[in-house]
Amino acid sequence: MTADPLRSDQQSIPAALHDSARRGGSLTVLDRAMRPTRLSLGEVGDISTDVAARLRRAGVRPGDRVCVLAPTSVELLLNLFGLWRLGAVPVVLPHERPEASAGPGLLAHRLATAGAEVVLTDHLPRLGAAVPPGCRVLPLDAGLSGPGAPEPPVPDGSALGLLQFTSGTTGSSKAVPVRQGQLVGNVLACMAALGMRPGHTYVSWLPFYHDMGIVSVVGLLVQGVHVVVMPTENFLGRPASWLETVSAHRAEITAAPNSAYQLAVKAQQLRPAALDLSRLRVAINGAEPVTADTVEEAVRVLGGSGMPAGALCPTYGMAETTLVVTAASARTSVRVLDPKEAPRQYGGHELPDRPLVSCGTPLPGTRVTVHGPGGEPLPDGQVGEVRVTGPGVTDGYWTAPGAPLDGLGRLTDGHMDTGDLGFLHEGELYVCGRAKDMIIVGGRNLYPEDYEIVAETVPGVRGGNVIAFSLPDRERMVVVAEGRGGAVSQDRLARELFERLREAAKHAPAEVVLVRPATLPKTSSGKKRRGTCRDRYLAGELDVVATAR
């Protein structure tokens, strides 16, 4: 019997895997050369039991936080399932994008925050002095070979299943404790909302240190979905490889952030491939703000390869809610709200001027409300802080040496004040931006997203590489962008960008700054770090090539 999505604590990952093994499902992992290794769910279950026993013999105990540092591979997946079978707690560390992740400093911070007892890795030299005293380092193959051991007991759904680090877009990254039952239940509820079924095929390139990557793969696999995992590095090196894999495996399901759809659409426009996306039914767009122009381009360009118009599904969620909070229907076209036509019910904040994409309705058992500055509930159409209540909301944040810390001002009494500004309209959620990033000038809101979206339409600006941030003391925005070309063209681009923003935005930015490519601060999963960018701007630490005021 499958778990009730309204009760997140009913099934552990091993129990759900055991149930689904009788119905089918499989795991296919592609290596860097895109060669497949395929395992049935029964094989995954049997091997994970052996891995759990060997890890137990090596000294790993139920409840231990085990940090895993390795690229996407069969070995990584089998170790994760072995840890869940044992009842240990995986903490997947960033392996890709070392330039974006502050190198050893990030590793040391996450190992210390997790209170790691063990590190499993295929790259011992990279750890260096980052490993805290008392933490043991084991090779990635420690649980994949050697003598057998007694089979450990199966954990229940209340067992801690993951320490998931937040993206750290607005501050230091925090560890979120997610229970095994929440990992199973959140995806099961998402399947019910979007019409995903056992026997469907899901393709993912997403990194396993990101919540969308690990939760989606595990949650769908244990429900009998055929899961195909490709290396993250392959997508980063050649974005076209993602949709080629979706086409080759005739997948019904895939998922990625908004920026990945931008890259995939651009790749298809520049070098059209013979894709067959006619079986794709659920193309989830989440993990970062979903923009109207990306939705329009994706539907148009990918529709030319057979993707149904209703397949694109914007979602809203975060690590603190396990994964998904709301999801747009996979049966109808994406709803885009023109602010000129939206009902203007003013609360504490104003609607942005840009078109807003609906993130859909809450998952079964989840409740979304919008609140004013004093915590008062706001009616439909009024912008306020988004609050989430439901089985996916986690217990708190984790703090070394290992006890969950309830609250930190955001997770209280079973609900989460997300820090996001948004509104409800006809039962659907529209997200406007982050409360911390927004400033008010003359009683009107300035959202950094308004500036970023306009900036990315200017020829010469690298798509997905614009960060706007506020200067509260001056009540203005600064826009930092990566551009293309030499020094002369960069000076001209800075002036053109400033003029375009002055015409299109509510208030002209204080300054436009162009920096060298690949130097904008981002998280390990590629999200923009506005606060860090502002700090570097104020300290004169940006790699500036041109400015305009």
- C-alpha closest to that of 294 among 346, 336, 234, 349: 336
Beta bridge partners of 471: 476
Q: Please give the pLDDT value at position 406.
A: 40
Does 186 score more than 50 pLDDT? Answer: yes
Q: How far apart are CA 462 and CA 515, in angstroms?
A: 11
Does 410 score more than 60 pLDDT? Answer: no
Q: Are 470 and 451 in contact (CB under 8 A)?
A: no
Does domain 439-548 fall under CATH 3.30.300.170? My reply is no
Q: Please give the pLDDT value at position 80.
A: 97
The residue with greater pLDDT, 438 or 406, is: 438
Q: Please give the pLDDT value at position 342.
A: 61
Q: Please give the pLDDT value at position 450.
A: 86
Q: Please give the pLDDT value at position 120.
A: 94
pLDDT digits (tens, 9 = 90+) for 74-123: 999 999 999 999 999 999 998 754 434 445 577 888 888 888 999 999 87
The residue with greater pLDDT, 358 or 24, is: 358
Does 456 score more than 60 pLDDT? Answer: yes
141-167 per-residue burial string, b: 16 or more CB within 10 A, e: under 16: ebbbeeeeeeebebbbbebbbbbbbbb
Sheet with 175-179: list strands edge to edge: 160-165, 175-179, 397-399, 403-405
Tally Cβ neighbours within 10 Å of residue 410: 14
Proportion of the chain above pLDDT 90, given as a percent:
60
Cα dihedral across residues 455, 96, 131, 319: positive or negative: positive
CA–centroid distance for 508 within its chain = 32
Task: Please state the pTM of the whole predicted model.
Answer: 0.86
Proportion of the chain above pLDDT 70, given as a percent:
88
Q: Please give the pLDDT value at position 88.
A: 97
Q: Are 290 and 314 in contact (CB under 8 A)?
A: yes
Domain at 331-437, CATH from 3.50.20.10, 2.30.110.10, 3.40.50.300, 2.30.38.10: 2.30.38.10
- C-alpha closest to that of 307 among 348, 265, 346: 265
Q: Please give the pLDDT value at position 448.
A: 87
Most confident option among 10-14, 298-302, 529-533: 298-302
pLDDT digits (tens, 9 = 90+) for 284-302: 999 888 999 999 999 999 9
Q: Please give the pLDDT value at position 324.
A: 96
Give residue 345's pLDDT band: very low, low, confident or very high (50, 70, 90): low
Q: Quick one: average pLDDT of 258-277?
A: 94
Q: Are 154 and 49 in contact (CB under 8 A)?
A: no
The residue with greater pLDDT, 412 or 528, is: 528
- Specify the DSSP element, H or E, that contains 282: strand 282-285
Q: Please give the pLDDT value at position 14.
A: 96
The residue with greater pLDDT, 446 or 191, is: 191
Q: How far apart are CA 117 and CA 400, in angstroms?
A: 11
Secondary structure letter of residue 307 according to DSSP: -
Does 6 score more than 60 pLDDT? Answer: no
Does 132 score more than 70 pLDDT? Answer: yes
Give residue 361's pLDDT band: very low, low, confident or very high (50, 70, 90): very high
Domain ranges of the chain: 331-437, 439-548
Residues sharing a CB contact under 8 Å with residue 420, sequence separation 6 or more, in sequence order: 385, 386, 431, 432, 433, 434, 435
Q: Quick one: average pLDDT of 136-157?
A: 86
Q: Quick one: average pLDDT of 469-484?
A: 84
Beta bridge partners of 92: 68
For the record, the structure tokens of 183 come out as 């990992």
Q: Quick one: average pLDDT of 340-350?
A: 63
pLDDT digits (tens, 9 = 90+) for 222-231: 999 999 999 9
Three-state DSSP class for residue 66? strand
Q: How far apart are CA 233 and CA 237, in angstroms?
A: 6
Q: How far apart are CA 482 and CA 465, in angstroms?
A: 6
- C-alpha closest to that of 223 among 207, 206, 199, 204: 199
Q: Please count the CA atoms within 13 angstroms of the CA of 398 that sit on its side-chain side.
A: 30
Give residue 282's pLDDT band: very low, low, confident or very high (50, 70, 90): very high
Does 462 score more than 50 pLDDT? Answer: yes
Q: Quick one: average pLDDT of 180-207?
A: 96
Q: Is the peptide bond before 391 cis (omega within 30 degrees of 0)?
A: no
Does 487 score more than 50 pLDDT? Answer: yes
Q: Quick one: average pLDDT of 328-333?
A: 88
Does 3 score more than 50 pLDDT? Answer: no
> How confident is the prediction for the chain on average, in pLDDT?
87
Q: Quick one: average pLDDT of 450-455?
A: 88
Cα dihedral 389, 354, 289, 413, rounded to 10, equals -20
Q: Please give the pLDDT value at position 102.
A: 47
Give residue 407's pLDDT band: very low, low, confident or very high (50, 70, 90): very low
* CA triple 252-253-256, angle to 5 deg: 145
105-134 per-residue burial string, b: 16 or more CB within 10 A, e: under 16: ebbbbbbebbbbbbbbbbeeeebeebbeee
pLDDT digits (tens, 9 = 90+) for 435-444: 888 877 766 7
Does 376 score more than 80 pLDDT? Answer: yes
Does 5 score more than 60 pLDDT? Answer: no
The residue with greater pLDDT, 416 or 218, is: 218
Q: Please give the pLDDT value at position 413.
A: 64
The residue with greater pLDDT, 126 or 54, is: 54
Tally Cβ neighbours within 10 Å of residue 506: 16
Q: Quick one: average pLDDT of 468-497?
A: 83
Does 347 score more than 80 pLDDT? Answer: no
